[in-house]
């Protein structure tokens, strides 16, 4: 049982936990009472993404770079507590 629990914790920690993206078509499938709040959220998110992209581009130009560099992807199990 112990090995199963440890395996389950590790599998859970390593699995992606992403939700489906919020899109206009998904918002339109919601009940009418919920659509306006989600549409406003979607519009704010798109505006924020444009502002972020512009800020990154400004930094790229200021640092005489040809493109932005992605941060390295790191998987960490520091928050997983394994009990024996």
pLDDT for residue 71: 82
Does 54 reside within a domain?
yes
List own/partner pairs for 8-15 with CB under 8 A and 24 or more apart: 9/80, 9/82, 10/77, 10/80, 13/77, 13/79, 13/80, 14/75
pLDDT digits (tens, 9 = 90+) for 37-64: 999 999 999 999 999 999 999 999 999 9
Tell me the HSE value of 46 on the side-chain side, using a 13 A CA sphere: 10
Residue 46 lies in a domain: yes
Please tell me the total count of domains within the chain.
1
pLDDT tens per residue across span 68-83: 998 887 776 666 666 6
- Rounded-to-integer distance, Cα 29 and Cα 21, Å: 14
Q: Is residue 41 part of a domain?
A: yes
Residue 6 within a domain: no
Res. 13: pLDDT tops 60: yes
- Is the whole model's pTM more than 0.85, yes or no? no
Q: What's the domain range around 26? A: 20-65
């Amino acid at each position: 049982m112990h090995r199963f629990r440890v395996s389950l914790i590790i599998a859970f920690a390593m699995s992606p936990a992403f939700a489906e993206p919020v899109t206009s078509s998904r918002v339109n499938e919601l009940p009418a009472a919920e659509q306006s709040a989600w549409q406003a959220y979607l519009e704010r998110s798109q505006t924020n993404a444009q502002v972020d992209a512009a800020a990154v581009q400004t930094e790229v130009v200021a640092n005489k770079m040809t493109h932005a560099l992605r941060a390295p992807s790191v998987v960490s199990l520091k928050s997983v507590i394994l009990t024996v």
